[in-house]
């Protein structure tokens, strides 16, 4: 059996995965909170589940108008700012919970940290100045 580092399965298809990705892109702090391989996997797993549950609740609570019948019901719900904010709060809460979990305290970030980026910028400036 392959090690856990070698297995990356897509957890969901449309629309839940797209919603989580969209909300994550709207809030750069989420990336900082979950920026390691194990955190990302845990974040996506729980964000997809919790967003799916919340969407189900919203679908039963919200009557959609006849003009929304030909449209994806999720998009109709997301147009309402209060639903969009509720979904964002849910995704942000998952990110904060994952970030606070001590199991992930020693995880390495997915990309270089800010000091590594600064060192690279300095190196690049010196290289370009030498030309």
Q: Structure tokens of 118?
A: 């600064």
| Domain containing residue 38 | 10-129
**Is 5 inside a domain boundary?**
no
Say if residue 74's pLDDT is above 50: yes
Answer yes or no: is 46 within a domain: yes
pLDDT above 50 (res 2) = no
Q: How confident is the model at residue 89 (pLDDT cuts 50, 70, 90)?
A: very high
- Give long-range contacts, CB 8 A cutoff, 24+ apart: 76-82: 78/19
Identify whether 87 is part of a domain.
yes
Confidence (pLDDT) at 36: 81
The stretch 62-69 carries a mean pLDDT of 62
Q: Is residue 1 part of a domain?
A: no
In a domain, 38, yes or no: yes
How much is the average pLDDT of 30-55? 89
In a domain, 4, yes or no: no
Q: Distance between CA 66 and CA 82 in Å, rounded?
A: 20
Number of domains comprising the chain? 1
* Between 93 and 59, the higher pLDDT residue: 93
Tokens 């209060």 belong to 82
Quote the pLDDT of residue 58. Answer: 86
Within-domain flag for 82: yes
Higher-pLDDT residue of 64 and 80 is: 80
Q: What is the mean pLDDT of residues 44-62?
A: 89
Distances in whole angstroms, Cα of residue 65 to Cα of each of 24, 31, 70, 71, 76 = 28, 36, 10, 11, 9
The angle subtended at Cα 109 by Cα 89 and Cα 14, nearest 5°, is 45
* pLDDT for 110: 59
Assigned domain for 2 exists = no
């Amino acid at each position: 059996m392959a090690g856990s580092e070698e297995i990356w399965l897509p957890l969901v298809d449309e629309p839940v995965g797209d919603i989580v990705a969209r909300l994550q892109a709207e809030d750069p702090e989420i990336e900082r909170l979950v920026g390691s391989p194990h955190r990302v996997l845990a974040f996506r797993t729980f964000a997809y589940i919790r967003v799916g549950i919340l969407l189900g609740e919203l679908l039963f609570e919200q009557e959609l108008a006849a003009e929304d019948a030909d449209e994806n019901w999720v998009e109709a719900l997301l147009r309402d700012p209060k639903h969009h904010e509720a979904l964002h709060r849910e995704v942000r809460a998952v990110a904060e919970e994952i970030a606070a979990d001590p199991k992930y305290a020693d995880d390495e970030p997915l990309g270089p940290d800010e000091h590594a980026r600064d060192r690279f910028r300095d190196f690049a400036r010196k290289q370009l100045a030498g030309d």
